Amino acid sequence: MRRMINWRPPPLVAVILGALPFVILLGVYLIASDIRQTENPNDKLLPPPAAFADAMARMALLPDPRSGNILLWADTAASLGRLFTGLGLATAAGFVFGLAMGLLPLAGRTFSPFVAVFSMAPPMALLPILFIVFGLGEAAKIILIFIGVAPFMMRDMALRVAELPPEQLIKAQTLGASTWQIFLRVAAPQMAPRLIDALRLSLGPAWLFLIAAEAIAATEGLGYRIFLVRRYLAMDVILPYVAWIILLAFLSDYLLRKLQQRAFPWFQKEKA
Amino acid sequence: MTEISIKNLCKEYNDAPVLRNVNMEISGEEFCVIVGASGCGKSTFLRILLGEIQPSSGEIRIDGRPLPPEPGPERGVVYQRYSVFPHMSVLENVMLGPGFAASPLLGRLSGKRRRAAADEAMHYLREVGLDHACSLYPASLSGGMQQRLALAQALIMKPQILLLDEPFGALDPGTRKDMQDLILRLWRENRMVVFMVTHDLEEGFMLGTRVVVFDKIPSLKDGNENSGATITYDIPLNGRRKPCD
Ligand SMILES: Nc1ncnc2c1ncn2[C@@H]1O[C@H](COP(=O)(O)OP(=O)(O)OP(=O)(O)O)[C@@H](O)[C@H]1O
Ligand SMILES: [Mg+2]
């Protein structure tokens, strides 16, 4: 009898196993929904698939009578705009500060303690301050995402730079490199694929901060919509919206992974 | 001709002496092999020569001038591992040094000068037998090929001194033999002083024009207590092999 740790499912079995939890979840929902619908056709808690289709057709295809916008797309555009602005700023700051902190003892001594302390501040506790200072507009939400994600990225980059073998930095110096040239040609290019890893890990927290900020103060956005329709127990809108958010997050993660494989082929080889 | 003079060199790490009163004179393009027990300070000695760390006392002069306190292009190095850059192709690795020299801002060459540098880099790659692999990444190279690349990358800078810290330590015996022939040929052709640390005495005696042995000396006063290593033997060898002038 082979040990379990040595038994690898054949490809087809692996696909079936991977799909199984999804199928079970779906099956359980459909059965539970059906039971509730037969008891009470007006039940709002577990709507049947047709209700989702109706609600989504309303949200994604017809303009909202009050604003004239098609809500799903308006919400998606607003949320992704905030998310990517915040993440973009955090990534840029993480790259520049993290590399500087990891590469230059002077910058490390100056910023590391500050970043280490500041990264312990719960971003949600700072949100009221952001609303007070920046108002209820876009800035506060973007800054919340930035504050929530940037310290992690800076620290992660600084650690990754410190992991570069010291031999490499010495070798570069024996090839005549200046500090700037080492940054530009040795450290930064090797950190770029690792920055993508850090960005992928930050997607989850960034969505969390985005939805939280939108739930508290916004006039559009995916998080705003979910919390708005909660008042009417509109599960037929909430559940598809959640699925849509999951899809967006999954797609961004997938695209980042593909980008890393395409743009940095050496990184895959080095890891293998 | 390179003159290196090392006088009363001492190195301590947090009061623990590692090197003690190392003296050495080198004149001309010697191939100096350094042997000694593990942990006796051979790598420390090379790192001081490289300028990576500073001696606690004593002085080193090259051609009469004090050793620069930082690594620089006049002193090349090849380690046992991590001597090449994993994110660059073989050719890019060799062109890196010339790129640094030519462009302070971008650290890379373009246009006509790039083609000239690529030609020169290919020359060194042919020298070490890697011209066929010029577009590969280092991760696709074998251990021996990576060390050849590291040599080409160092040699294109035309260093006055080349420091090798167990460069063949991780290679199989056959590859090792090839690399020994290669390093001897490169040393003859490129007119430089080589310092090479090895644990293989046979290799040391075959390659060197000089073999220096580092060994711990028990302190005279405190009996057994360790007081750092120094050169206990300095054996001239293979005089005939000196590069002809
Ligand atoms: N940065 C450091 N701080 C404190 N002690 C150190 C440091 N680097 C080396 N040492 C100590 O100095 C001694 C000499 O180290 P070194 O690496 O020079 O030995 P080595 O002769 O190269 O040994 P090996 O043959 O194993 O490579 C060792 O005892 C080591 O523990
Ligand atoms: Mg050593």
Chain B contact present for A175, CB below 8 A: yes
**Distance between CA atoms of residues B160 and B157, nearest Å:** 9
CATH number where B187 lies: 3.40.50.300
Whether B80 is in a domain gets the answer no
pLDDT tens for B86-101 read 999 999 999 999 999 9
Q: Which of A172, A180, A266 lies nearest to residue B86, judging by beta carbons?
A: A266
For residues A170-185, average pLDDT: 96
Whether B245 is in a domain gets the answer yes
Residues with CB under 6 A from ligand 1: B 13, 18, 36, 38-44
pLDDT tens for B152-170 read 999 999 999 999 999 998 8
For chain A, what are the domain ranges? 4-46, 57-271
* Percent of chain A clearing pLDDT 70 (strictly above): 100
Q: Judge if B129 and B198 occupy the same domain.
A: no
Which of B9, B14, B18, B212 should be mutated for ligand 1, with most atoms under 8 A from CB?
A: B18
| Residue B216 pLDDT > 90 | no
Interface test with chain B among A171, A186, A190, A196, by most B beta carbons within 10 Å: A171
For residues B61-69, average pLDDT: 93
Question: Looking at beta carbons, which residues of chain A come within 8 Å of B81?
Answer: 165, 167
pLDDT tens for B29-54 read 899 999 999 988 999 999 999 999 99
Q: Judge if B163 and B51 occupy the same domain.
A: yes
Whether B175 is in a domain gets the answer yes
Q: Judge if B174 and B237 occupy the same domain.
A: yes
Q: Which of B71, B77, B107 lies nearest to residue A181, judging by beta carbons?
A: B107
Our CA-based measurement puts residue B2 at a distance from the nearest CA of chain A, in whole angstroms, of 18
Give the Å distance between the CA of B52 and the centre of ligand 1: 14
CATH for A57-271 is 1.10.3720.10
ipTM of the complex: 0.91
Whether B60 is in a domain gets the answer yes
pLDDT tens for A96-129 read 999 999 999 999 999 999 999 989 999 999 999 9
Contacts for A48-52: CB closer than 8 Å, 24+ residues apart: A51/A236, A52/A236, A52/A239, A52/A240
* Percent of chain A clearing pLDDT 90 (strictly above): 86
pLDDT at A3: 92
| Residue A9 pLDDT > 80 | yes
Whether B81 is in a domain gets the answer no
Prediction pTM value:
0.89
Q: Judge if B67 and B173 occupy the same domain.
A: yes
Give the Å distance between the CA of B187 and the centre of ligand 2: 22
Contacts for B238-242: CB closer than 8 Å, 24+ residues apart: B238/B31, B238/B208, B238/B209, B239/B209, B241/B31, B241/B209, B242/B28, B242/B29, B242/B30, B242/B209
Whether B79 is in a domain gets the answer no
* Residue B129, domain extent: 86-158
pLDDT at B235: 82
| Residue A266 pLDDT > 80 | yes
Q: Judge if B223 and B189 occupy the same domain.
A: yes
